[in-house]
Amino acid sequence: MGPSERQAYRLQRGEGATAIGVGIHLPGISVTTDDVSVLFRRQRKPVRGPFVLIGRNKGLAIDTAFQAERGSQPILWPPHAYQHQLWYFRKTPYRDEYLIVSVANGLVLDAGTSSELRRNPVMWMPHGEEHQRWRLHRTPDGAAFVIESVRTRHVMDVPQDAEARTVPCLWERHDGENQQFLIMMPSGGRMNQ
């Protein structure tokens, strides 16, 4: 395409903000990126889940290990997306704070009331106190999330030496890959509830 058929342009939006767009101009038709984006623009609906939470550094998923007792600890296990690795993010009355609820047992991930480092999260009956609420922070590349406890601001961490059956821990945030989780929605199957 020659310069007369393809053309870059700048859009001025608001307080001097500039966006770059591309336009294709053919005889009788002209299409710009703004025209195409209108076709794909839609109302964003929250995605309900369930999700598999996979540690980015080791590729291990948070798993209930078939535990259903209050106070039991989740483990890390190779991902398979069976119910004991599926989790819902349940909104709380607090902005951008969620309970992380197991599909398998209805228990939530709980950071506990201690603020000591390297403690392990447990699963507990949901009550919504701040040690059960979590914030999600998108990583700079947008592919993963850091999962932060509201109570202590410590984050979910996959130990560097983790292998199957290791228990995740809570640690000070440093945004390393061992603190990044891929939040994946399984597809192609049918979940029995």
Residue with token string 């922070």: 137
What global pTM score does this model have?
0.74
Answer for the pair 132, 40: CB distance below 8 angstroms, yes or no: no
Tell me which long-range contacts 156-162 makes (C-beta under 8 A, separation of at least 24): 156/62, 156/109, 156/121, 156/181, 158/55, 158/57, 158/58, 158/60, 158/76, 160/57, 162/55, 162/57, 162/58, 162/60, 162/76
Structural domains for the chain: 6-40 (no CATH), 52-184 (2.80.10.50)
Q: What is the C-alpha separation between 29 and 31, in angstroms, rounded? A: 7
Ramachandran angles phi, psi of 17, nearest 5°: -70, 140
| Torsion from C-alpha of 156, 140, 136, 103, nearest 10 degrees | -70
Q: What local confidence, expressed as pLDDT, does residue 48 receive?
A: 74
- Render pLDDT for 67-102 as a digit per residue (tens, 0 to 9): 999 999 999 999 999 999 999 999 999 999 999 999
- Render pLDDT for 117-165 as a digit per residue (tens, 0 to 9): 889 999 999 999 999 999 999 999 999 999 999 999 999 999 999 999 9
Does residue 168 have a pLDDT over 50? Answer: yes
Q: What local confidence, expressed as pLDDT, does residue 9 receive?
A: 36
Q: What local confidence, expressed as pLDDT, does residue 118 receive?
A: 83
